[in-house]
Amino acid sequence: MRDPDGLIARAGVRGDPDRDQHFLVDDRVLDRLPTYLESEAPRASDEASGDSPRAREIDADTSHLLEIGGGTGALTDRLLAVGDEVTVVERDRELAQFLREEFADEIDAGNLTVIEGDALQVDLPEFTASVSNLPYGVSSQIAFRLFPEKKPLVLMFQQEFAERMVAEPDTSEYGRLSVSSQHYADIELVESIPKEAFSPPPAVQSAVVRAIPREPDYAVEDEEFFLRFVKALFTQRRKTIRNAIRNTGHISGLSEPEAVVDAADEDVLRKRAGAMAPTEFAALAQLARDVGEPTDD
């Protein structure tokens, strides 16, 4: 495997916090990231205890791996070792050019494609799984571009963001992000990453999240409206659902929020968004769509 510090030196660059550039340089973390595509991946705790994790078969389809934010290629190198084909998206022109030079042999062999551009705007290829150390400033937008693709994802986020993704109802971390993320996949926080694993160290600790796609255990007729409705109610999370529905018609797009209040169950109306399970949001969103006259229908 290529040495991450050597890659940075050959690229002649330094991470720039102002540009959301923090290069992952801890070899042990880099080596573990692709293993989280396995159902029983070896954990950092195994390594710390001195246990030798058994070799395991990778469960996810690794025929075409997608990496968002390739940087100097330390993770790219490890993905090439497990994937038949890798596509990396890098928005920094100099880094994209370095990747083309550093991995010229892999590109010539058809194993690697480098796309220069913004991951929120470029056309993404058909991929089978993604392992990425995301730029934190746009990590939410990128994640919600990837979730609808319904592919296994191993993504690096800020620790606080990751904890909100996996949070359960009636916890302080539970919110719109929890409901929206868990709508698409089973979400698991698989490892916390110290600041010192990066160059330069970011201001906050990081975490690795694994998302395995699955259908939710509730029916949603209009996914776009459901997600918008959840967003609306969480903007008033300290209010009862009754008042949140009334106060957020401009966000949810409901022309007749009062009709939803009149039709909804009183037990639900007394709750607050932070106590609502995803299934309850789904049922209420369907009712809102049926009687509240969304303006975009």
Residues placed in the known binding site for S-adenosyl-L-methionine: 22, 24, 69, 90, 118, 133
Rg (CA), the chain: 21
155 DSSP β-pair partners: 132, 209
Under the phi-then-psi rule, with left for phi > 0, alpha for psi from -120 to 50, and beta for the rest, what region is 202? Answer: beta
Query: In angstroms, rounded to a whole number, what is the distance separating the alpha carbons of residues 98 and 12?
Result: 9
Angle, CA 69 vertex, CA 31 and CA 98 arms, to 5°: 90
Q: Are 147 and 125 in contact (CB under 8 A)?
A: no
Binding site members: 22, 24, 69, 90, 118, 133
**Dihedral of CA 113/118/123/126: which sign?**
positive
Q: Are 208 and 189 in contact (CB under 8 A)?
A: yes
Tokens of 62: 């690794």
Query: In angstroms, rounded to a whole number, what is the distance separating the alpha carbons of residues 115 and 272?
Result: 44
